């Protein structure tokens, strides 16, 4: 598992309220929006901040999702280049002391993801996303 | 407030356990370690992942710190170039709908920081750190 974070995902209880704050309030520009579901904002070279409906996020993580968190849940994502690397990286993390929350599974958007928790309970997603790439200048392109 | 995250900070209940996982387990290389206090790991162009003692982190945030979070607390940091920008950016965030958790205060390490919560409760730090810079190639230099 390379030393890298590609996404910071915030599980928000009210996506419209999150949009009012980040997009209308702070004036930040989305890289991609899927209405009622998710908003992606680029916040560093190669890094997206994702505002995601909290219930959808909890459902995606599954039974291992932290319950009762005050405020939003947060995950950090580590993207890999191929589908096969998703389980490999999950195994590597577990060997290092992580707890597997959800094994590698295909997603409806054509990718493959799994989740683990670090020793403090921080949730990481390991993902292969064929519709994501980072340009040489650091700009992230997401979506087909 | 520019569209940028500079630090992802995880409040960890057991720093030694976090070190065993990230440094010994995953083999990641710290940019800086302060024994028993904090470990910084570079995870993107210009971005550090900070593993910080959870009690110290909660004390730093103060009365506004989220209580009873399962697993680690998380903050996102937005760094600014001058001391004067810290209260300005906090005011900008509050005007956009954020809740002020801690007004701008000088720190013992020579910087100035404050905290706000976004509408979902995600904690952001706004910081001026005179001992932090990002090199042209994206490498972060931290510490004096």
Residue A70 has pLDDT above 50, yes or no: no
Per DSSP, helices labelled H in chain B are 15-19, 54-61, 85-95
| Phi, psi (rounded to 5 degrees) for B73 | -75, 155
Chain B: give the shortest CA distance to residue A96, in Å.
4
Contact call for A119 and B26, based on CB within 8 A = no
pLDDT of residue B138: 87
Closest residue in B to A8 (Cα) is: B8
Contact call for A21 and B54, based on CB within 8 A = no
Chain B: give the shortest CA distance to residue A137, in Å.
11
The percent of residues in chain A predicted with pLDDT above 70, rounded, is: 92
| Rounded distance between C-alpha atoms, residue B75 and residue B123, angstroms | 5
pLDDT classification of B72: cutoffs 50, 70, 90: low
pLDDT classification of A12: cutoffs 50, 70, 90: confident
Count the Cβ atoms, other than its own, within 10 Å of residue A91. Answer: 18
pLDDT classification of B66: cutoffs 50, 70, 90: low
pLDDT classification of A72: cutoffs 50, 70, 90: low
| Rounded distance between C-alpha atoms, residue B58 and residue B117, angstroms | 14
Hey, which residues 31-90 in chain A have their CB within 8 Å of chain B?
41-47, 49, 54, 66-72, 74, 76
Query: Quick check: helix, strand or coil at residue B107?
Result: coil
Q: Which chain A residues are closer than 8 Å to B70 by Cβ? A: 66-69, 121
pLDDT of residue A30: 94
Residue B69 has pLDDT above 60, yes or no: no
Among candidates B3, B18, B44 on the partner chain, residue whose Cβ is nearest the Cβ of A28: B3
pLDDT of residue B62: 74
pLDDT of residue A86: 96
Q: Which has the higher per-residue pLDDT, A65 or B60?
A: B60
pLDDT of residue A65: 66
pLDDT of residue B1: 82
pLDDT classification of B55: cutoffs 50, 70, 90: confident
| Rounded distance between C-alpha atoms, residue A105 and residue A128, angstroms | 10
Query: Quick check: helix, strand or coil at residue A64?
Result: helix
Domains of chain A by start residue, with CATH = 7-142 (3.10.180.10)
Q: H or E stretch including A95?
A: helix A85-95
Report the candidate in B133, B111, B113, B108 with the shortest Cα–Cα distance to residue B123.
Answer: B113
- Lowest-confidence segment of A34-43, B60-69, B116-125 by average pLDDT: B60-69
Chain A: give the shortest CA distance to residue B22, in Å.
8
Arithmetic mean of pLDDT, B76-101: 93
* Chain mean pLDDT for chain B: 87
pLDDT of residue B144: 67
A1 touches chain B (CB under 8 A): yes
Encode pLDDT of A98-120 as tens digits.
999 889 999 988 999 999 888 87
Contact A130, A86 (CB under 8 A): no
Closest residue in A to B6 (Cα) is: A44
Pair of tokens at residue A109? 């958007």
* Chain mean pLDDT for chain A: 87
Q: Which chain A residues are closer than 8 Å to B71 by Cβ? A: 66, 117, 120-123
Residue B75 has pLDDT above 60, yes or no: yes
DSSP 8-class letter at A45: B
Residue B70 has pLDDT above 50, yes or no: no
């Amino acid at each position: 598992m390379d030393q890298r974070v590609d996404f910071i995902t915030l599980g928000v209880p009210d996506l419209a309220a999150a949009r009012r704050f980040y997009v209308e309030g702070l004036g930040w520009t989305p890289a991609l929006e899927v209405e009622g579901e998710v908003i992606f904002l680029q916040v560093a070279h190669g890094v997206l901040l994702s505002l995601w409906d909290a219930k959808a996020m909890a459902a995606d993580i599954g039974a291992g999702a932290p319950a009762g968190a005050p405020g939003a849940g947060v995950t950090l994502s580590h993207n890999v280049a191929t589908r096969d690397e998703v389980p490999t990286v999950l195994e590597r993390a577990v060997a290092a002391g992580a707890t597997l929350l959800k094994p590698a599974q295909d997603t409806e958007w054509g990718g493959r993801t799994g989740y683990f928790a670090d020793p403090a309970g921080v949730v990481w997603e390991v993902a292969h996303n064929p519709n994501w790439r980072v340009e040489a200048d650091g700009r992230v392109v997401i979506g087909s």
